[in-house]
Amino acid sequence: MINRQDLFLLLVLLQDESVSTERLGAACAELGQSDELDFVRQLRRHGIVSPENLQRSLEEVRSQLEGFGWKESEAFDHLLQRTAPHRIRDFWAHWCETKPAAASGDTDLRYRFDERRGEGGIGTVWEVFDEGMERTVALKELKQSAAQRPSLHRRFLREGRITAGLQHPHIVPIYDFQARGVAGKLPYYTMPLLNGGTLLDRIRAHHATKNEPNSSGLRLRELLLSFVDVCEAIGYANAQGVIHRDVKPANVAIGLFGEVILIDWGLAKRVHDAASDTAVADETLGDEIKFSETTQVGHVVGTPAYMAPEQAAGDIGHVGVKTDIYGLGSTLFMILTGKAPHQKHVGEDVRAAFKRLASEPTPLARSVNPKVAPVLEAVCAKAMAFAAEDRYDSAMELAADINRVLAGEEVDCYHRPFARRVVAMMRRNPIRAQAVASLVLVVGVLCAVLMAYSWSESRQLNLVERGGLTKVVEEMKLLVDSQMQAMKADASLLASFPAVGNFIEARQRGKKMAEASASEQMISDIRALLKWHPEYLSVNIIDAKDQRIVRGVQRDTPGGSTLVDISEPIPLVTWWKPFLAYCLKLPQGDTTYSGVMARQAVTDEQGKLHPIQLLGAAVREPETDELIGAVVVEVDFEQILLAPGSELAKSATILVTDDQGHLLNWHGQPPRSRLPLRPGEPVEFVDPPLEGFFDKKVDNELLIAAQGEQPGLIEIRRLQIEGKPPGGQLDMIVLHSLQTFVEDAVRYHYWVIGVAASLFVIALVTTWVMVRFMLKDENGPLAS
């Protein structure tokens, strides 16, 4: 009962805006129903005010009474005037609102308690019969021990109110909610009674019998479909601004008819609701891991076996929607492996365990159960990513990916190997897959037959190729001679260009404007010629008076496409001077060419040497026939040999050397004899018939010799380019071994047999795999 001194304390408390009028009204209503309850004790038990605030309020009451000489009526009037009227009205409204329900006593008569169904950390679940609705329901009541703790009392009320505000098929509905029990009894709420067990029970049953044939895949599919329902429930709650913070299989009830209901919203909170960031003290949670209320960094809320890193770290500010995503990923981990993702180590204390959970990498499902499908492991890993920003953005995205996996479709977080994509395609299109298998089989057999036939023809083709070797070399000689004549014509044409003569004459007479005009036209003509002829390295205009190159265009590298103008006079290199002296004696229109300057070869980007040849023609004044200069074309002789020798290089080795046996370049098949293959080094032949070959002055020599114990054919052709004056000799050696033909034929024979056999086996295996996967209907896309 409330006495007069309690009224003084009540007025003092109403003057404190931090004290809830609603809770004061409920406390007074409950106090009025029992003669055994004391107002001050009631305030302390319900935690309405802090002990310090309560002590200050009691001292204020004593001070007021002493100030008025213990005249209670005057002190009461003074306190009443100091109290805000709206606070008094709010308090009275809450007291009156609570009293009728408490006084009626109807609640005790409405529910008949039949059986206790379970007990948790703060509540007890009863099976009761609702006399008013004539149905059996579940009633969850706050435990007496939890009621003594204000934080757990508030948690129970928050659980009921939040759950009642969520209207979703997979979230438990609240039928009746009483924040304060009858006649001093405990708060409770009622909900549907589900008798089918929990998702945890289904998971354990699945893994206990997963080795039984023809059932494992179906049960896993059912579990994943139930998991999708849980994702949809969390997605809805998150969209309403509520996070669950304790998603785990034990909190998912499954009815007898497969209905999936997410329960136990005791740790739920509304986003940005700081008042609900309260830890659970010494509560035994999932996987028998017991943790203290707080860690060094803050409150810890949740089940450690399924807890996100930010929860274990007590980082309340980062606990949000992504935390529920992690809980869903942990639930999926349990479905796939039969084990919770986090386990307590033997001998590990609470703080060390939380520190480990907050920092250790997220476990992978296949590390626990290698039979888990890689695509499901990838989805689970994304949901349980250590960094919250790497997880799914919403529970609905996670549900969508699980549905895609069940339908055999691709997900963004996992790219299936090609073989698995092929298998998925075959399962979706079995008729086409059978047609492809038949086609592969037919093609394999046809390939085997055709390759066997081609082997029988290979030796005949080789004989024909050997017989045509000599003819190819002769044709190569004719092509080189033909190109030489064409290059001489180009040099003569350049010397007869009016722009060339005008340029040299204007330069010698000091006519700058005429020189510039003629130079522009001349350089344009030279550039066009070089673009058309990749074998020309440079075109040089030489003034007969000062014996220097005064204009020209050159390539940056042999075979390169970049052209560089020569705009300033440059002196002649030493080995050009004898050739230029002879060239300046030629009559107008006549041309000459040097021997191949093998020792002055240029190097390309691959390190191969390109022998050089010079083409020259004198430039004379048309009217007086006076010698005024010369045109010298620098030719990359490697390009001359490359075009006609390309066909021959497919089956033989072509060595290009100077007349001393120094290797300049090689084409075609790598030589089988001991050759250095390094440009600039002498070719040391080991075959006796080639000894002393470079001492001979023969042209177009054919040598047939035996190489070891195997018969061989070696054909040697020397292409000697004579110049004016003689400037060197180029030797082209063609090596073509008969043993190469024999070895190639044998190798080709075995290759044909191997390819034919492989194609046939691949066709058979592919057909078998296709048929097997099309007929197999055990796990479908969930197979490991």
- The band of 680, judged by pLDDT with boundaries at 50, 70 and 90, is low
Name the pLDDT band for 361 (thresholds 50, 70, 90): confident
DSSP string, 661-702: -BEEEEEESPPSS-----TTSB----SGGGTTGGG---SS-E
Asked if residues 544 and 627 have their Cβ atoms less than 8 Å apart, the reply is yes
- For the range 268-271, what are the long-range contacts, defined as Cβ-Cβ under 8 Å and sequence gap of 24 or more? 268/158, 268/159, 268/162, 268/163, 268/237, 268/242, 268/243, 268/244, 269/158, 269/162, 269/242, 269/243, 269/245, 270/162, 270/241, 270/242, 271/241, 271/242, 271/243, 271/320, 271/321
Find out whether 285 and 301 touch, Cβ atoms under 8 Å: no
Q: List where CATH 1.10.510.10 sits in the chain.
A: 202-415
User: How far is it, in rounded angstroms, from Cα 362 to Cα 356?
Assistant: 11
Q: Which of 243, 285, 265 lies closest to 140 in space, CA to CA?
A: 265
CATH 3.30.450.20 residue window(s) in the chain = 478-638
Find the mean pLDDT for residues 536-559: 88
Give me the CATH code for the 478-638 domain, please. 3.30.450.20
DSSP string, 493-560: HHHH-HHHHHHHHHHHHT-HHHHHHHHHHHHHHHHHHHHH-TTEEEEEEEETTTTEEEEEEEESSTT-
Q: What is the mean pLDDT of the chain?
A: 76
How many Å apart are CA 508 and CA 527, to the nearest integer?
A: 24
Give the CA dihedral 263, 266, 271, 274, nearest 10 degrees.
180
- Please report the DSSP string for 156-214 in residue order: HHHHHHHHHT---TTBPPPSEEESS-GGG---EEEE----S-BHHHHHHHHHHSTTSTT
CB 651 within 8 A of CB 677: no
Residues above pLDDT 70, as percent of the chain = 67
pLDDT at 546 over 50: yes
Cβ proximity of 714 and 687 under 8 Å: yes
CA distance 577 to 469: 40
* Lookup result for tokens 């304790």: 246
Tell me: pLDDT of 333 over 60: yes
| Residue 677, phi-psi category: left (phi > 0), alpha (psi -120 to 50), beta (remainder) | left
Helix (H, G, I), strand (E, B), or coil: what is residue 564?
strand
The H or E element that residue 141 is part of is strand 135-142
Assigned token pair, 375 = 């695509």
How many Cα atoms within 13 Å fall on the side-chain side of residue 319?
Answer: 33
Which has more confidence, 426 or 509?
Answer: 509
Residue 192 pLDDT class (50, 70, 90 cuts): very high
Q: What is the dihedral of CA 40, 43, 46, 50, to 10 degrees?
A: -120
| In the predicted structure, residue 366 carries a pLDDT above the cut 50 | yes
Answer CATH for 106-193 from 3.20.20.150, 3.30.200.20, 1.10.3720.10, 3.40.50.720: 3.30.200.20
Strand positions, DSSP E, 282-438 = 294-295, 298-299
For position 251, what pLDDT does the model report? 93
- Distances in Å between the Cα of 281 and the Cα atoms of 150, 154, 294, 696, 784 are 12, 14, 8, 105, 42
Q: What is the DSSP letter of 392?
A: -
pTM of the model: 0.47
Alpha-carbon gap, residue 778 to 213, rounded angstroms: 9
Comparing 12-16, 203-207, 446-450, 740-744, the range with the smallest average pLDDT is 740-744
Q: Which tokens hold the place of 62? A: 């004593």
- CA distance from start to end of the chain: 70
CB atoms within 10 A of CB 725: 12
Q: What are phi and psi of 507, to 5 degrees?
A: -65, -45
CA distance 379 to 391: 10
pLDDT (mean) for 411-436: 73
Q: Closest Cα to residue 189, out of 203, 205, 172?
A: 172
Predicted pLDDT at 404 = 92
pLDDT value at 687 more than 70: no
Tally Cβ neighbours within 10 Å of residue 754: 11
- Which residues, other chains included, contact 625 with Cβ-Cβ below 8 Å and sequence gap of 6+? 588
**Rounded Cα gap, residues 257 and 246, in angstroms:** 25
CATH class of 202-415: mainly alpha
pLDDT of 390: 94
Domain with CATH 3.30.200.20 in the chain: 106-193
Residue among 638, 646, 644 nearest 611 (CA): 638
pLDDT at 613: 80
> Between 161 and 274, whose confidence is greater?
161
Question: What CA–CA distance (Å, rounded) separates 59 from 53?
Answer: 10
